[in-house]
Amino acid sequence: ARKLTFSWGGNPGVGSLHRLRDAVENAWPGPLEIDEHSHAAMAVAYRAGAARLPFGMLRGYIGTDLAKQNPRIRSVTCPYTAEKLATVPAVNPDVTILHAQRADKRGNVAIDGIVGAAREAALAAGKLLVTVETIVEELPPAMNNVVLPHFTVTAVSHCPGGAWPSYAHGHYARDNDFYLKWDVIARERGRFTAWIDRHVRGTADHRAFLASLQGQAA
């Protein structure tokens, strides 16, 4: 990774992401360019991306040094009230990768539970790759639930457990223990690299990756 566009980079409920810290503080394993925003701004940036507008706007970046550090945070003047509003460039990822609960054979994808900005990030993407817990013959009519229609989806992959260590609503809970263990694993470069070598580089697929962690994740 060359550049990170983000609004929060931590281990939720635990603390720092040590690898992110090492990259920013010490340029290890390489320099990382930072494009830093707030959540509210990232939200309108994804929404603008999904709508193929070039920028998003908000009443934001008030009382903060963020706008001073990031030249991509700018403003527009309201053509009616002359108010100044903060702007951020639309985020249109080349590829968005999501994990969802279900897809059908045609590629329609159904997401249940806390959706965050998943829909916006999906529709903002150039290509949309989705891993799912289950693939069914046909999804039932979804009414007002969140669905990504097949013509917005580039590819679907069946990948049970693909949200781990996070959760998949209706399938399995968040592995809170692992978030604590990750703090230890990722703290030092050596231990982190060994873990990646063994469990990620050293396994053939996601099933083998999860199996290699059973009972001895740390």
Judged by beta carbon distances under 5 to 8 A according to partner kind, the member of its own copies, other proteins, none in contact with residue 92 is: none
Residues 124-153 contacting its own copies, CB under 8 A: 143-146
Residue 194, φ and ψ in degrees, nearest 5: -65, -40
Judged by beta carbon distances under 5 to 8 A according to partner kind, the member of other proteins, its own copies, none in contact with residue 193 is: none
Two structure tokens written together for 99: 């994990």
Site for its own copies contains 191 (CB under 8 A): no
Judged by beta carbon distances under 5 to 8 A according to partner kind, the member of other proteins, its own copies, none in contact with residue 87 is: its own copies
Choose the binding region for its own copies from 8-16, 76-84, 97-105, 128-136 (rule: CB under 8 A): 76-84
Degrees, nearest 5: CA angle 28-29-33: 70
CB of 64 to other proteins, least distance (A): 5
Residue listed under structure tokens 């013509």 = 151
Judged by beta carbon distances under 5 to 8 A according to partner kind, the member of other proteins, its own copies, none in contact with residue 46 is: other proteins
Judged by beta carbon distances under 5 to 8 A according to partner kind, the member of its own copies, other proteins, none in contact with residue 74 is: its own copies
Q: Is 44 helix (H, G, I), strand (E, B) or coil?
A: helix
CB atoms under 10 Å from CB of 13, counted, come to 9
- By beta-carbon proximity to its own copies, the closer residue of 68 and 201 is 68
CB atoms under 10 Å from CB of 206, counted, come to 16
CB atoms under 10 Å from CB of 198, counted, come to 12
CA 159 – CA 209 distance, rounded (Å): 12
Two structure tokens written together for 111: 């997401």
Choose the binding region for its own copies from 25-33, 84-92, 159-167, 204-212 (rule: CB under 8 A): 84-92
Residues 88-117 contacting its own copies, CB under 8 A: 89, 112-113, 115
CA 55 – CA 73 distance, rounded (Å): 10
Judged by beta carbon distances under 5 to 8 A according to partner kind, the member of its own copies, other proteins, none in contact with residue 75 is: its own copies
CB of 117 to its own copies, least distance (A): 14
Q: Is 32 helix (H, G, I), strand (E, B) or coil?
A: coil
Residues β-bridged to residue 97: 129
Binding residues for its own copies, rule: CB under 8 A, are 52-55, 57-59, 72, 74-81, 83, 85, 87, 89, 112-113, 115, 143-146
